[in-house]
Amino acid sequence: MGKGNGKSDVTNLDLEHELPPGEGGEEPVAKTEAVEAGAKPESESLRAERDALLDRLARLQAEFDNARKRAAREQQEFREFAAADVIRTILPILDSFERALKTASGESGDFRNGIELIYRQLQDALQKMGVQAIPAVGQVFDPRVHEAIEMVDTTEVEDHHVLEELQRGYKYKDRLLRPAMVRVARNIAKQ
């Protein structure tokens, strides 16, 4: 490839890059059209594959996000379950305080004041953790939160109302820790 004749350089380049003639005497132009026609289905299949991969990626991302949220929710439920177990352990202590306050009514004022102070502190701490006492006396008996120990015949209280609370019931964040043990009125006037 010399500098003297520019025409021979162009011809050699063209011959090197020219497509060989197809079988059956097809012209190179016809083969080029066939290649372009074949390129369309290939690009469509590539687009379809890309769309399928993007759809799969979106589904996997959504599945991962759901799994992450589920794990966080399960951790929170586990923490609440563990806290509920600890609170159940403390409740008998609270019961003992209540009994001591009922029996110590005739005792010295300082002793009773000290017991009441400790009792209020314990109640405040439990309340900050989300523990709530279940109302019982005077309420309509609810088997979901009350446990009937005895039915008492009376005319003073309406039928199926809680007459007396024997042991206070508690909830922790809308979860029942312990039902209230109660005596329930059976109104004999209606019988």
Q: Would you say residue 51 lies in a domain?
A: no
Domain span at 138: 131-191
Q: Would you say residue 66 lies in a domain?
A: no
CATH number at residue 162: 2.30.22.10
Q: Would you say residue 184 lies in a domain?
A: yes
147 pLDDT above the threshold of 80: yes
User: How much is the average pLDDT of 158-185?
Assistant: 87
* pLDDT tens, residue by residue, 27-58: 544 445 545 555 568 888 899 999 999 999 99
* pLDDT tens, residue by residue, 175-184: 888 899 988 8
- Into how many domains does the chain fold? 1
Question: How far apart are alpha carbons 85 and 102 in whole angstroms?
Answer: 27
Q: Would you say residue 172 lies in a domain?
A: yes
Q: Would you say residue 96 lies in a domain?
A: no
- pTM, rounded to two decimals: 0.48
User: How much is the average pLDDT of 118-127?
Assistant: 82
Q: Would you say residue 174 lies in a domain?
A: yes
Q: Would you say residue 187 lies in a domain?
A: yes
* pLDDT tens, residue by residue, 82-96: 778 788 878 888 887
Query: What percent of the chain is modeled with pLDDT above 70?
Result: 74
Q: Would you say residue 168 lies in a domain?
A: yes
User: How much is the average pLDDT of 129-148?
Assistant: 87
